[in-house]
Amino acid sequence: MKKLTVACAQQQMRLFDSLESYRKELNRFLYMARAKGAQLIIFPGLAGVMAAAPMVEGFRINLLKQADGRRRKQRSLWTRTRGALAGGTAALLGADFRKAFGQLLQTDPASLLATYETTFGELARAYDITIVGGSAYLPDPAGVIRHRATVFGPDGTVLGRHSKMALAAEDEGLAVPGDVWTVVNTPAGRLGILLGEEALYPEAGRVLAYQGADLLVTLAAADSEALAAYVRQATIAQAQENRCFALTSFLVGKNYLAPDEAVGKTFVGKSGIYAPLEMTPRYSGVLVEIGTASSEGLLTAELDRDALRALWQSGVEPVRSRMPVGLFAKYLPALYSSQRTLAEAWPDPESIPAPLPAAPPPPLVLPTPIEPPAHPVLAEASDAPSADEQAGVGLLTPEMSPDETAEGDETGWDVD
């Protein structure tokens, strides 16, 4: 496929009361994408969680029904006891979607997985399009909950998955990090998937590029403008560093997964489609981008793969063929095998205590004086001067002249 039309959805997070309502929402984006000839569409990070909203509501309603059974006197003791527990749980969950969703993950993750895959698989087949489904918290084959994105082919089959490795605050307590990056082969090309903060690490995109990815896809859910800006800039950089196409799809709207809903956090971001600088207007790296960071929209762009491959060979600086791999091989294995982060390998100099001054020199120890040898007394000491003294003649005693005094030895140490 020499030229490929791709679509990028910027979707608002909502809590739907039925799965059918959620499917209608997805249909709206898919209809527009197919009308523009798109062969690939990507949905935002955590957008797949919306498929669970009706299940969460049903779970909560079931708890309330059990609680109602406690108030009926004809019920058995066990039913009333179970109802009391359910009533307390339902009250605890209240309007907190995160808590209710977490409880559902613990009790029935298999149903959640089936709902997610059935929904996106059927839509991919109905629209004959490759879909990168919005990421969600789903069980892996071993039953471990991961933050995962799943790719569906035009026939509705699952083509591949990616589990997030760099978990964010929303992920804590809900998912376990993944441990591998792999490229997903699709009719639209070889996709490398990055979830949110993973895009901030250049190594992630380079690993996927080495596996043959020519399209890097970032699904993001950023709850601050700063994080959204980081992810956007990082995705543009990934396209330049690896000379490939890149897409970013942001979730917007209220953050129902925030640990504390009362904080009122919202998801923001400007979705975009990017390419190497030479292939974009004014060398911006941007093919097309959403104009607002808070509302929904759909982007489409045509990607020219032949032009991309020509750039690999004859670009201003064909980094793909001129990489100093020998130099990198010299440094990177030792740096990464140390298992130390940059902060651990090179701490902030401001946080390092000043070095202690050198130890002062040891005190000067003089040799023990030697007593002069005893001489025979030639005459008794007398207060009266001798005849020679009276004549002005005395014994000469050697003395140290001023010029023979020892120089002082000043020793110090650098305290800088």
Residue 26 has a CB neighbour count (10 Å cut-off) of 23
Q: How much is the mean pLDDT over the chain? A: 82
Mean pLDDT over 49-74 rounds to: 64
Q: How far apart are CA 270 and CA 250, in angstroms?
A: 6
Average pLDDT estimate for 84-99: 53
Please give the residue that has the higher pLDDT: either 259 or 351. 259
How far separated are the first and last CA of the chain, in Å rounded?
Answer: 65
Break the chain into its structural domains and give their ranges.
Answer: 3-345
Whole-number pLDDT of residue 77: 53
Residues 49, 116: Cα–Cα separation, whole Å:
9
Is the pLDDT at 195 greater than 80, yes or no? yes
* C-alpha to C-alpha distances, 206 to 72, 203, 210, 213, 215, nearest whole angstrom: 63, 5, 6, 9, 12
Answer with the residue of higher pLDDT: 264 or 317. Answer: 317
Q: What is the pLDDT of residues 135-145, one digit of tens each?
A: 999 999 999 99
Tokens at residue 132, please?
A: 């990168």
d(CA 189, CA 235): 18
pLDDT of residue 72: 46
Assign 87 a pLDDT band (cuts: 50, 70, 90). Answer: very low
Which of 57-61, 121-125, 239-243, 303-307 is predicted with the least confidence, judged by mean pLDDT? 57-61
* pLDDT of 237 above 80: yes
Q: Is the pLDDT of residue 293 over 90?
A: yes
Q: What pLDDT score does 397 carry?
A: 42
pLDDT in tens, 201-232: 999 999 999 999 999 999 999 999 999 999 99
Q: What share of the chain is helix, strand, coil (3-state, %, to 5)?
A: 40, 20, 40
Summarize the confidence of residues 123-136 as an average pLDDT. 98
The proportion of the chain whose per-residue pLDDT surpasses 90, expressed as a percent, equals 61
Quote the pLDDT of residue 89. Answer: 43
Whole-prediction pTM:
0.77
pLDDT band at 74 (very low <50, low <70, confident <90, very high): low
Contact 193, 151 (CB under 8 A): yes
d(CA 236, CA 221): 17
Q: What is the largest CA-CA distance in the chain?
A: 144
Query: Which single residue is written with the structure tokens 């959204």?
Result: 228
Domain 3-345 -> CATH class = alpha beta
Q: Of 6, 74, 56, 65, nearest to 36 (Cα)?
A: 6
**How far apart, in Å, are the Cα atoms of 133 and each of 49, 121, 169, 281?**
10, 9, 21, 30
Closest by CA to 100, choosing from 90, 87, 115, is: 90
List pLDDT tens digits, range 146-192: 999 999 999 999 999 999 999 987 898 999 999 999 999 999 999 99
Tokens of 178: 């993944």
- How large is the average pLDDT for residues 16-38? 95
Helices vs. strands in the chain: H and E counts, helices first: 12, 14
Beta-bridge mates of residue 253: 267
